[in-house]
Amino acid sequence: MSEYSKRQWLTLIILCLANICSAVCISLQAPFFPNEAEKKGATATEYGLVFGVFELIVFILSPVYGQFINQIGPKLLFNAGIFTTSSSIIVFGLLDKIPDRVTFITLAFVIRIIEATGMAAFVTATFTISAKEFQNNMATIVAMLETCFGIGLIIGPLIGGALYAIGGYYLPFLVLGLVLFVIAILTIIVMPRHSYVISASRSSTSFIKMLRIPLVVACTLGIVATSTSIGFLSATLEPHLRPFKLTPVVLGGFFVISGAAYAATVPAWGWMIDKCLNPKVAVLVGCVFECLGFAIIGPMPVIPIDTSLELVAVGLVFQGLGTGAILVSCFVDALRTAIKHGFPDTVETYGLVSALWTSSFSCGAFVGPSVAGYLYDLVGFRASTLFVIILFIVIAFILLIIACTEKSRERYYQRIEDNELLTNHMENSNSYGALENNGKVDETNTNI
C-alpha cells in the first residue's frame, strides 16, 4: 500500500468512511424496529418484508446502474446515492408518529424503496471505483471496504440501541442520517473525479453472457446465500432473544458479535486470496462456518439443548467468519473468471461484476428477512434455521461440481494444446530433416 498515489489514498479514505456510515444507517434499526412495528400491530411477516423490500429494489436497480455507469459517471452515481440514502434515513425516523398499522407499514415500504435506490447507486459505484483504481490489490481493497462495512454493521445496532434508549425512535435516524449527509458533502469536495474511457459500443446482453459462465453463477449463488443468512438474522434475532428480556444496549451488543467477527477476519481473507489461497477453497470453508453458526444459534431442533446467550454468541461468531470468507472470495473470483472468459479488462466489466455482486447480495437480503419472518410465524426460530443450513450445503455442493467440471475441462483443453504443439514440433522436425537430406543429395550430385 505504500506505493499508492495521493489520488488513490483520497479515494480509499472516502470509500471507507462512506461504507462505515452507510452500514451504520442500514443496521441501526435492527434492535428496536421489530418491537416498534409490533406495537403498531404488525406481524413478523410484515416487518420482515419491510426489511426485505429494500434489498429487492437494490436487486432490481443494480444491474441498471452497472449497465450505464460509464454514461452516468462513477462519482456522480456515488454522490447521488449517498444523498438519497441519508435523506431517506432521516425521514424513516418519523414513522413512530403514525398511529395505525396500515399507514405505518405502507410508508415504511415507500421510504425503504427510495432509500434502496440510493444504496444501489452507492454500492455499485463503490465496487466499480475500487476495482478500477486498485487492480493489483483488488482482493485486499475489497476486503478493506468490507471491513469498514462490517465495522458499520457492528456499531450500528449498538449506537442505534443506545440512542433509542436515550431519545426514543427518532433520535437514532436523525443523528446518523445527518452524519451520512455530512460524509456526502465531504465526498463532493474531497473525492477526485475518475475519468474512464467510454466504449463505443456496449452489448445489451452483457449480464446474460456473464451468467452463462458456470463459475460466475456459482459465485452469484454464494453471495445470495450469504446475504440471505444476514437478512435472516436481522429480522428474527431480536424476537429470538426477546425471552431473555435484554436491554436495548445489550441486545444491540448481540448484533455486534457477527459483524465483529466478520470485520476482524475479512482483511486476512482478502490478503490470503491475493497471495496464496484459492477463492473456491475460501468459499467452501465459509459454507462450513455458516452451517455451524446457524446450527448453534438456534440451536437446530435435532440438538437437544435449550437456547442460551452463550450458544447464540458462539454461533454468531461462526456466522461472521463464514460471511467474510464468502463475500470477498466470490467478488474476486467472479471478476477474474469473467476476464479469463473473454470480458475486457475495463471499467465496463468492473461495473457489470460490481452490479452483479450488489444485485446478488440484495436478492439474498430480500429473501432472508422475508422467508425468516414467514418461517418464524410458522415454525419458530429453531426449526427455521434448517432453511439456511440446507441452503449452504446446496451451495457448497454446486460449487464443488462446477469447480471439478471446470478443472476437467481445463485439463482436456491443455492436453489438446499439448498434442497440437507436439504434432507441430514433429512436422517441423520432419520438414527440417527432409530439407537436410535434400541438401546432402544436392551436395553428393555436385561432387559427382
Number of domains the chain contains: 2
Confidence check: pLDDT of 285 > 90: yes
Residues 305 and 278 in one domain: yes
Say what the pLDDT of residue 394 is: 94
Q: Is the pLDDT reported for residue 259 higher than 50?
A: yes
Same domain, 173 and 267: no
Q: List the single range of 101-110, 245-254, 330-339 with lowest mean pLDDT.
A: 245-254
Least confident of 58-62, 128-132, 145-149, 190-194: 190-194
User: How many CB atoms are located within 10 Å of the residue 172 CB?
Assistant: 30
Domain membership flag for residue 199: no
Q: Please tell me the distance from the alpha carbon of residue 197 to that of residue 104, in angstroms, as a whole number.
A: 46
Q: Comparing C-alpha atoms, which of 353, 324, 367, 355 is closest to residue 149? A: 324
Q: What is the pLDDT of residue 443?
A: 54
In this structure, are 172 and 209 located in the same domain?
Answer: no
Q: Does the pLDDT of residue 411 top 70, yes or no? A: no
Say what the pLDDT of residue 414 is. Answer: 60
Determine, yes or no, domain membership for 433: no
For residue 440, the model assigns a pLDDT of 53
- Say if 317 falls within a structural domain: yes
Is residue 70 a contact partner of residue 198, using CB atoms and an 8 Å limit? yes
Q: Say which range, 239-248, 327-336, 384-393, 408-417, has the weakest mean pLDDT.
A: 408-417
Average pLDDT for 165-180: 86
What is the chain's mean pLDDT, rounded?
Answer: 81
Lowest mean pLDDT among 22-26, 78-82, 226-230, 427-431: 427-431
Q: Is residue 110 part of a domain?
A: yes
CATH number of the domain encompassing residue 295? 1.20.1250.20
**351 domain-assigned:** yes
Closest CA to 141 of 20, 230, 264, 269: 269
Residues 328 and 353 in one domain: yes
Per-residue pLDDT at 209? 83
Residue 47 falls within a domain, yes or no?
Answer: yes
252 shares a domain with 164: no
Output the CA torsion sign for 91, 97, 103, 109.
Answer: positive
Q: What is the pLDDT of residue 277?
A: 85
**Same domain for 167 and 256?**
no
Give the pLDDT band (50/70/90) at residue 412. low
Q: Are residues 52 and 84 in the same domain?
A: yes
Distance of alpha carbon 181 from alpha carbon 83, whole angstroms: 6
One-letter amino acid identity for 47?
Y
Those residues whose C-beta lies under 8 Å from the C-beta of residue 202, and which sit 6 or more positions away, are 67, 70, 348
In a domain, 331, yes or no: yes
Residue 421: its pLDDT value, please? 59
Lowest mean pLDDT among 248-262, 395-409, 424-438: 424-438
**Residues 260 and 386 both lie in one domain:** yes
* pLDDT(37) > 70: yes
Query: Do residue 180 and residue 228 come from a single domain?
Result: no
- Give the model's pLDDT for residue 351: 74
What confidence tier does 204 reach under pLDDT thresholds 50, 70, 90?
very low
Same-domain check for residues 268 and 230: yes
Q: Cell triple for residue 263?
A: 470485520
**Do 182 and 229 have their domain in common?**
no
pLDDT confidence band for 198 (50 / 70 / 90): very low
Residues 276, 178, single domain; the answer is no
pLDDT grade for 111, boundaries at 50, 70 and 90: very high
Query: CB count, 10 Å around CB of 311?
Result: 17
Asked if residue 447 belongs to a domain, the reply is no
Q: Percent of the chain, pLDDT > 70?
A: 85
Which residue, of 148, 169, 191, is where some domain finishes?
Answer: 191
pLDDT for 424 beyond 80: no
Task: Please tell me the predicted confidence (pLDDT) of residue 201.
Answer: 44
What number of other Cβ atoms are within 10 A of residue 146's Cβ?
23
Read off the pTM: 0.71
Domain interval for residue 94: 1-191
Q: Is the C-alpha dihedral spanning 137, 140, 144, 150 positive or negative?
A: positive
Of 149, 165, 191, the residue at which a domain comes to its end is 191
Tell whether the model's pLDDT for residue 124 goes beyond 50. Answer: yes
SS3 177: helix
Which residue, of 159, 191, 223, is where some domain finishes?
191
Residue 203 has pLDDT above 50, yes or no: no
Provide the pLDDT for residue 356.
Answer: 84
Neighbour tally for 377: CB within 10 Å: 15
pLDDT score for 202 = 46
